[in-house]
Amino acid sequence: MSAVLDQHGHAHEHHPSGIMRWVTTTNHKDIGTMYLWFSFAMFLVGGFMAMVIRAELFQPGLQVVQPQVFNEMTTYHGLIMVFGAIMPAFVGFANWQIPMMIGAPDMAFPRMNNWSFWLLPPAALLLVTSLFVPGGGAGVGWTMYAPLTVQQGPSMDMMIFAVHLLGMSSIMGSINIITTLLNMRAPGMTMMKMPMFCWTWLITAYLLIAVMPVLAGAVTMTLTDRHFGTSFFSAAGGGDPVLYQHIFWFFGHPEVYIIAIPAFGVISQVIPTFSRKPLFGYASMVYATASIAILSFIVWAHHMYTVGLPTAGQLYFMYATMLIAVPTGVKVFNWVATMWKGSLTFETPMLFAIGFLFLFTLGGFSGLVLALTAVDVQMQDTYYVVAHFHYVMVAGALFAAFAGIYYWLPKWTGRMYNETLGKWHFWLSIIFFNLTFFVQHFLGIAGMPRRIPDYAPQFAEFNKISSIGAFGFGLSQLLLLYIVVSTIRSGKKAPERPWEGADTLEWTHLPTPAPYHSFEKPPVVK
């Protein structure tokens, strides 16, 4: 990684106060903070919906909600967690960290950055309030498959507009991130000297620019099918509902990596810091990340093995999907090799990073199982799939976000979190997470279908365990809220460099906490 010659930290703290500070801000740190708090709020909303789902599934029969409401909960839980919680969380990290890591004073387009964030609250409002309009929420699943979407009430239109707003926000954010990384790096900070987190965001932003417009196109066509007499996805009018699935998953599979790749970036910062070694195989990490991103465009139909693909198509998508294991294996190998013979310590960020390493890899393995066409036609739409993607999304992306929060909280707030409580948060999360989702593999193999509120009595025991795990996991996250709030309000003052193994510019060249304006004069990187 790069060594740095001179230092330019600045501390002009003039900015509006009160609510107008947040409404009008163009400061990347303020906007990053808003993204992170928004994401946490959405995490609680989506988490509440998960609790409703697991309460209903606690035992067979219908106890808590009606089937329509259950469908709404699974739909909104997925949409809120993907678009409202995880994606904005990593955009929050990007806003805070990218300028500081490359020695830039701010993002390339600060006003557009403000606009990117402020599109999110109206989108969230549209989405959540669509649950309460006449006809109820749109229980169509987060994938919004046609032709069910054409048959819904006004809530579907609100959902479509919410997705439009979220897409616009993501595209503007991505333009900002790419432009910042390409044009705003400090002198001497070549592309191959950028911290891995920046590389992962550069690649993710390109993915977003390519696929968010495709999702926007898909929901726009759904809207015109609903209201303007077109038949893009209606077989009766000459359209094809399966084409919707192709378009959706052309977006949807890269979306998995849009969530996972920034998580890889956070892990690639945390593991070297707490191993006190440089990242092993930096260049191969860059190329592996780019390979994963490129491959993600050509594997989409592995989500659609049961729609009647030709055998040659099934074979192609099976082998192409399995190919992704190669660059992913390179990354996992490099993280393990970074730790090998390092001076390891196990503070909370490192614990979450190691938790990520084990559990994300497990999620990758179950993904390989599902890549096999012959297996997938048995497992399609069972709880095995639910278990698989929660290992990727929760133990992968969310644990990486937790690692990032604990890692950078001292830099953001100038205060240290309570290490004991952080470790409690980790252990409670990892135990309850596995209690919730590991058993779902067994349920799926035994044939329990997803998105159904009732189930056969033979699934009762594992469902009970899963629900207890989910309630525990949900409650454990309130501990994170307490830790973050108590750190901000009364945490011990953080030392200038709380992690001696950290070597990126925000740790080596800026005071702790980071000043409101940083790097007005760029540092020179050797």
Partner 1 sequence: MQSMHEERRSRNLRTGIVLAAIAAAFFIGILIKQYLLTHR
Q: For residues 233 and 146, is the Cβ–Cβ distance under 8 A?
A: yes
Site string for partner 1, 155-174 (x = CB under 8 A): ----------------x--x
447 Cβ contact partners less than 8 Å away, ≥ 6 residues apart = 382
231: contact with partner 1 by CB under 8 A: yes
383 is catalytic: no
How many amino acids of this chain bind partner 1 (CB under 8 A)?
Answer: 30
**Is 331 an active-site residue?**
yes
Is 238 a residue that touches partner 1 (CB under 8 A)? yes
Which of 239, 396, 404, 501 is close enough to bind partner 1 by CB under 8 A?
239
Length of the chain: 526
Give yes or no: 450 in active site: yes
User: Which of 44, 65, 175, 479 touches partner 1 by CB under 8 A?
Assistant: 175
* Region of 69-77, 91-99, 218-226, 389-397 interacting with partner 1 (CB under 8 A): 218-226
Q: What is the dihedral of CA 246, 176, 331, 79, to 10 degrees?
A: -40
The CA–CA distances, whole Å, from 502 to 149, 243, 271 equal: 49, 48, 10
Contact 348/295 with Cβ under 8 angstroms?
A: no
Write down the residue that tokens 């003052």 correspond to.
Answer: 493
User: Among 164, 253, 415, 441, which one carries the catalytic annotation?
Assistant: 253
If the CB atoms of residues 171 and 288 are measured against partner 1, the closer one turns out to be 171
The reply to whether 289 belongs to the active site is no
193 catalytic residue (yes or no): no
Q: Which is nearer to partner 1, 160 or 184 (CB)?
A: 184
* CB-CB contact of 73 with 52 (8 Å): yes
Minimum CB separation from partner 1 for residue 232, in Å?
5
User: Which of 211, 339, 362, 398 touches partner 1 by CB under 8 A?
Assistant: 211
The site map against partner 1 for 245-284 (x = CB under 8 A) is --x-------------------------------------
Q: Does 523 bind partner 1 (CB under 8 A)?
A: no
- SS (HEC) of 55-72: HHCCCCCCCCCCHHHHHH
Contact (Cβ atoms closer than 8 angstroms) between residue 394 and residue 86: no
Candidates 423, 428, 270; CA nearest to 350 is: 270
Examine residue 26 and tell whether it contacts partner 1 (CB under 8 A): no
The residue annotated as part of the active site, out of 28, 302, 425, 441, is 302
How far apart are CB 407 and partner 1 at their closest, in Å? 29
Answer yes or no: 106 catalytic. yes
Cis, bond preceding 513 (omega within 30 deg of 0): yes
Catalytic (active site) residue 28:
no
Assigned token pair, 412: 């953001």
Which whole-number Å values give the CA distances from 245 to 105, 136, 218, 458, 505, in the listed order?
42, 24, 9, 33, 44
Catalytic positions are 77, 106, 142, 169-170, 253, 255, 257, 268, 302-303, 328, 331, 450
